[in-house]
Amino acid sequence: MNILVFIKQVADTEARILIKGDNRSLEIENKYNLNFFDEFAVEEAIRFKGKVKDSKISVCTYGGKKAVEALRTAIAMGADQAYLIDNTDLDTDDPLITAKILAGFAKKEGFDLILCGRQAIDDENGNIGAMVAEFLKIPHVTAITKLDVVDEKKIIVENDIEGGKETKEVQLPALLTTQKGINEPRVPLITGVMKAMKANIPVIDPVTLGLAKESLDRNASKIKILSYETPKGRPPVKIIDGETPEEKVKKLIKLLREEAKVL
């Protein structure tokens, strides 16, 4: 079976991010990782491969040349092959474009199962999974917390719904997005890291995936960033003093009622 995992390289949570003078671009400290939720997707693909024989895991991203590092992380964990679809000069803020490219790749590569994280932690959109599934006309399930194999044509998944969980049978091919809790992503072994360092990662030009270059660039984008700003900071904290816990709480409740007006 062909398992595809779509990943994204994202700025680390702790990375410093500054707005450049034009207010339209960002300067991001050079600290990048494989997206938190995508680690669960890679791990689940490896576990799936363990259950269904003759499976192959291909990992793919639409990103800049630097994103190859995140692909190597996935190989170090246990993916078989990785592909970089190079978006140099085509960097986009429109998830429709990214999803079309990834769907184009999936069609070309062939697939039985596609996995990706439920959202990227940089733009926090969480759109790509369901969009790719729609472009491929296959079922999707978002935020899965369990995946069981019935046979080569059918799986059973559990996912988050409002206030609970749902269990469903899904026919393959399908696309699943992974939620925290589904597994514990492994830390790559040194042998995996060695393999990843040596792995040949083909670079794909997005225009070879059946989409015209004009439909991929900034002018084609349906989303446009107008400006960036830093969030308004809060005034310094008011530390509430008092002789006893009761006195402090009394003062706090008074402030919450009369000053903040939230009680």
Task: Restricting to residues 124-163, name those near other proteins by CB under 8 A.
Answer: 124-131, 133-135, 138-143, 156, 160-163
- Whole-number Å distance between alpha carbons of 254 and 263: 9
Residue 168 found at the interface with other proteins (CB under 8 A): yes
Query: Which residues inside 35-64 make contact with other proteins, applying CB under 8 A?
Result: 36-37
- DSSP annotation of 230: P
CB of residue 75 to other proteins, shortest distance in Å: 24
Q: Per-residue contact track with other proteins, 80 to 119, x per CB under 8 A?
A: -------------xxxx--x------------------xx
If the CB atoms of residues 67 and 157 are measured against other proteins, the closer one turns out to be 157
Binding letters toward other proteins, positions 195-234, x by CB under 8 A:
-------------------------xxxxxxxxxxxx--x
CB atoms within 10 A of CB 157: 18
Note whether 254 and 262 are within 8 A (CB).
no
The token pair that represents 206 in the structure block: 């997005």
C-alpha 236, offset from chain centre = 35
Residue of 174, 176, 196, 204 that binds other proteins (CB under 8 A): 174
Residue 57 CA, distance from chain mean position: 17
Kindly state the smallest distance separating residue 15's Cβ from other proteins, in Å.
8
Residue with tokens 């991010």: 17
Provide the phi-psi class of 182: left if phi over 0, else alpha when psi is between -120 and 50, else beta: alpha
Separation of alpha carbons 261 and 263, rounded Å:
6
- Which of 187, 190, 212, 262: binder of other proteins (CB under 8 A)? 262
> Nearer Cβ to other proteins, position 64 or 126?
126
250 is a site residue for other proteins (CB under 8 A): yes
Q: Considering the rule CB under 8 A, would residue 31 count as an interface residue with other proteins?
A: no
Provide the 8-state DSSP code for 164: E
Please, what sign has the CA dihedral across residues 252, 253, 254, 259? positive
CB nearer to other proteins: pick between 14 and 54: 14
What type of residue is 53? K
Determine the 3-state secondary structure of 61 from DSSP: strand
Among residues 89 and 134, whose Cβ is nearest to other proteins? Answer: 134
Compare residues 54 and 184 and give the one whose CB is closer to other proteins: 184
- Number of residues engaging other proteins in binding (CB under 8 A): 82
